[in-house]
Structure 1
């Protein structure tokens, strides 16, 4: 009786699995037949191939590039985007001295309280403060950006697939929509206040091209020429650092742990050989 019940249960389970498989297959086929191709599916592009100093298993941040990226963020991106998870004191990791960090933080106005009236006010930033938002609230942010709230950039390269390459591609990808796109999907042409960018998910975004000309940011002597491409790379590398400032230390710790595990494995194997060397295998008659 138990065997019969077990067989019936197994048969029922098999029927359910087969039914689910064919139901899913039918759904996929029907979706492919009934749903037309979308402009996003056909014209959206994957991020460009671009390399950074921190890429790879042994990669390290280029401090000079990070400083240039901070300058691009400060002079261009900070007008709309915040870095609410980055404190000014964290910039010491980029090679800045304590005095330089104090001077840089004082260039930003952060929320404060008037000690005499108790009312909200602003004050120059200090190293313990975090990068402030350029807007007092989301309503003001949306009103200034065609009803689109500029996202915080602290973790942007971790929040997007191929994050660093995505940011670089987005910054350098603004262009006019192709004639094929306009002809095939006229509704996908950018409307008022929107800008076409094939590296953005739905092809059009409210953010105007932030990098518009070579030399928009003036680098210190000895640095590469501030072309649009170079500035995009530099700020993308900087945002990779804001998202993962402990990258180098994590890799160093990982290699040390891996080396220890390899050594411990070899030691355990040799110990096993030594302990069992005097034990002869049992003979069977």
Structure 2
């Protein structure tokens, strides 16, 4: 009796589930969701040929150093890297003295030992990249009521992160006339900027990069495109500093499994060699 009751309840549950699915599909076909500007005009990130793409890809330290320079001279005015320590930069090819010099160029929050009042001091290698704002209130006041996000994990926080960062930085443009014709209510509000690579198409950040803005010491062309590629690569490294080690470990694992499979197959043939079908 208990089994019959359980069976009936199970059938009822499946029927209700199928009925709900059918009702959802029927309503979607009968009254499909209205098109939105975000759905129609949002672009997928452009594909960029980064050195670390692919299974055997590796970081280009010269590019990462250029990306750090772009971050320091442009992005650091609004965005922090609170999960990255200055001493981590040794992985980019800097020596200890260079790391100390870079750290000293930042002011980090501190406490005055004599008065106990909040103060700032020169950074040291063990410090992390500081926020340019004292708190969220100050950040909102300086950025049209929007808090600039921390960039430490941005390349992992967004789908296709490296390409997304590059596309966003180079994607600012005027709103297409077609968009304004189809969705007049989607006109970019005052104080925001149209960018088809951003989820809502409009963001508070002004176009941060322009040609000639940063001078590279290695002679690389000072173009917006290069700036965007380099800082995207650098932010990929901040999000995945162990990428190369992970790829090496993955390759070693694949090789081990191939050898193990070969040995296991040989052992099987050896053990069962005298057994006839």
Gaps of 5+ in 2: none
Using a 3 Å threshold, how does the CA distance of structure 1 residues 27 and 85 change in structure 2: closer, same or farther?
farther
How many residues get paired? 277
Using a 3 Å threshold, how does the CA distance of structure 1 residues 118 and 3 change in structure 2: closer, same or farther?
closer
Deviation of 1:2 after TM superposition, in Å, equals 8.0
User: Are residue 144 (structure 1) and residue 139 (structure 2) matched?
Assistant: no
TM-score, length basis structure 1: 0.92
User: Are residue 226 (structure 1) and residue 197 (structure 2) matched?
Assistant: no
Deviation of 1:5 after TM superposition, in Å, equals 5.6
Which among 251, 257, 280 is matched to residue 253 of structure 2?
257
Correspondence for 1:217: 214
Instruction: Supply the distance in 1 between the matched residues of 2:52 and 2:242 (Cα, whole angstroms).
Output: 12
TM-score, length basis structure 2: 0.95
Instruction: Supply the distance in 1 between the matched residues of 2:86 and 2:273 (Cα, whole angstroms).
Output: 61
Deviations 1:127-177 (A, max 9, x none): 000000000001100010000000000000101111111110110010111
Cα RMSD for the two superposed structures: 1.7
Instruction: Supply the distance in 2 between the matched residues of 1:31 and 1:147 (Cα, whole angstroms).
Output: 37
Instruction: Supply the distance in 1 between the matched residues of 2:135 and 2:125 (Cα, whole angstroms).
Output: 23
Instruction: Supply the distance in 1 between the matched residues of 2:75 and 2:59 (Cα, whole angstroms).
Output: 21
Correspondence for 1:185: 183
Deviation of 1:30 after TM superposition, in Å, equals 4.8
Which among 169, 172, 175 is matched to residue 174 of structure 1?
172
Correspondence for 1:154: 152
Correspondence for 2:18: 18
Correspondence for 1:81: 79
Deviations 1:61-108 (A, max 9, x none): 011000000000000000000000000000000000100000000000
User: Are residue 131 (structure 1) and residue 129 (structure 2) matched?
Assistant: yes
Deviations 1:198-221 (A, max 9, x none): 111111110000002x11100013
Correspondence for 2:91: 93
Which among 200, 216, 235 is matched to residue 198 of structure 2?
200
Correspondence for 1:266: 262
Gaps of 5+ in 1: none
Deviations 1:41-64 (A, max 9, x none): 111111112120000000000110
User: Are residue 245 (structure 1) and residue 232 (structure 2) matched?
Assistant: no
Computing the radius of gyration over CA atoms, which structure comes out larger, 1 or 2? 1
